[in-house]
Amino acid sequence: MNECIIAMKSQSGAYRAIKLLRSAGISASAVNIDTSLTGHGCGFGVVISCGKADEALALLEKKHLRHGELIGSGR
């Protein structure tokens, strides 16, 4: 399974996203993101299967959960 990471704007937002995605049947977990990727220090992301990325992003946007870029999808 290819893994993608949705960068999140806050750690509470990351855990909120994980709860939301899991309730929708999407496997998700928290991950630290390297400073070199965020550009402004420690960051948090949500790991998901790349195959579920579009569905996951749509869910986050529907619930107005602020997120950053999708990392590792190749797009």
Other CB atoms within a 10 A radius of the CB of residue 38 amount to: 16
CA distance 46 to 18: 7
- 14-53 footprint of another protein as x/- string (CB under 8 A): -xx--x---------xxxx--x--xxxxxxx---------
Strands 29-33 and 43-49: antiparallel
What whole-number distance in Å separates Cα of residue 32 and Cα of residue 8? 10
Binding-site size for another protein (CB under 8 A) equals 20
Rounded least distance, CB 70 to another protein, Å = 18
Min separation Cβ 35 and another protein, Å: 7
Q: Closest separation between CB of residue 63 and another protein, Å?
A: 11
